Amino acid sequence: MAQAPPPAGAPPAGGPPAAFRRPPDFPTRPPADPAVVERGKQIYSITCTFCHGADARGGSGGPNLIRTPVVLNDKNGELLGPVLKEGREGMPKFDLPAAQVSDIAAFLHSFRVGGYDISRMAPPTILVGDAKAGEAYFQKTCTSCHSVSNDLKGIGGRITDPKRLQQTWLMPGAAGRGPGAPPSPGTIVKVSVTQGGKKITGRLTKIDDFLVSLTEDDGTPRSFTRDGDNPKVELIDPLQGHRALLGKYTDKDIHDVTAFLASVK
């Protein structure tokens, strides 16, 4: 017996995954439990606000989430979860419990999606931290590498976009650069490989448990098979200090330090 043809508008068999399909129209969702939305808002504010904005419509380092196929097609976090867990280029990974992902999804779905910005709630300024508390945090955490009388002298007069400053902490080496843009010299990770008593150093291309690849200063590509600690591999990452703090920053810490640095004239 011949099968009935698929209904008009149905995606073809083998078509794009749900996360990449554009819905036929902006979805209208029933109101979620306010307590769930509030929980999602709190989690979102910690993990996502600095990249995607408080209203999820984009920041200096991240795109608008409201109109992305992932969010539009998502129901309860089933599409959002893998993105958070696996990350994206320039985006850190967040291994959150399924319940928290569902709460974030409920918060994102609470925004009305349409052809106008009814949902925008961008604050007039993000300089809302406590400068004194920021100074104390800076003195305790940052002075091993930075000084307001040396490399950060007069930084307050140079801060034209506080969000971009914050992005340099949350996405070390990636903030403020467009797709495909080359890294700045101060963010390049180098590696040295010592084999047979000879040390080869260059820009890191790839590293995993089995292989390390680099490009020497003259452009020569080199690759080495790894077997445990043989050969000896040493990474030289100028942003390692920032990366080490990614799991320690709080929303308040970042706002406080931003307010302090903005006050340094």
User: How many residues are recorded in the chain?
Assistant: 265
In a domain, 92, yes or no: yes
Examine the pLDDT at 11 and tell me if it is beyond 60: no
DSSP string covering 64-106: -STTSHHHHH-SSSTTHHHHHHH-BTTB------HHHHHHHHH
119-131 pLDDT, tens per residue?
Answer: 455 567 788 899 9
Q: Same structural domain for residues 153 and 251?
A: yes
Q: Same structural domain for residues 154 and 85?
A: no
User: In which band, very low, low, confident or very high, does the pLDDT at 1 lie, cut at 50, 70 and 90?
Assistant: very low
Name the amino acid, one letter, at 57: R
Q: Which residues contact 257 (CB under 8 A, 6 or more apart)?
A: 129, 134, 137, 138, 142
* Domain termination residue (choose one: 79, 109, 139): 109
The mean pLDDT value for 6-20 works out to 50
Secondary structure tally for the chain: helices H, strands E: 9, 5
Buried b (16+ CB within 10 A) or exposed e, 249-261: beeebbbbbbbbb
Q: Same structural domain for residues 67 and 94?
A: yes
In a domain, 10, yes or no: no
Pairing of strands 190-195, 198-207: antiparallel
3-state secondary structure of 204: strand
Q: Same structural domain for residues 165 and 229?
A: no
| CATH number for position 101 | 1.10.760.10
Q: Same structural domain for residues 153 and 215?
A: no
Q: What is the dihedral angle through the alpha carbons of 170, 173, 174, 175, rounded to the nearest 10 degrees?
A: 60
More confident position, 255 or 60: 255
Residues above pLDDT 70, as percent of the chain: 79
Q: Same structural domain for residues 226 and 203?
A: yes
**232 beta partners:** 194
In a domain, 4, yes or no: no
Cα-flanking dihedrals φ and ψ of residue 167, to 5°? -65, -30
Domain that holds residue 104: 18-109
3-state secondary structure of 148: coil
147-199 pLDDT, tens per residue?
Answer: 999 999 999 988 888 888 888 787 776 654 544 445 566 678 899 999 988 99
Cα-flanking dihedrals φ and ψ of residue 235, to 5°? -90, 140
Q: Same structural domain for residues 257 and 154?
A: yes
In a domain, 93, yes or no: yes
**189 near 204, Cβ under 8 Å?**
yes
In a domain, 167, yes or no: yes
In a domain, 33, yes or no: yes
Q: Same structural domain for residues 162 and 75?
A: no
- Total domains present in the chain: 3
C-alpha distances out from residue 16 to 11, 20, 115, 195, Å: 8, 6, 25, 47
128-141 pLDDT, tens per residue?
Answer: 899 999 999 999 99
Q: Hey, what are 180's tokens?
A: 């495909």
- Among 169, 159, 163, residue whose Cα is nearest residue 265: 159
In a domain, 67, yes or no: yes
Q: Same structural domain for residues 250 and 168?
A: yes
In a domain, 23, yes or no: yes
Q: Same structural domain for residues 200 and 226?
A: yes
Q: Same structural domain for residues 224 and 255?
A: no
Q: Same structural domain for residues 258 and 164?
A: yes
pLDDT value of residue 191: 94
**166 near 50, Cβ under 8 Å?**
yes
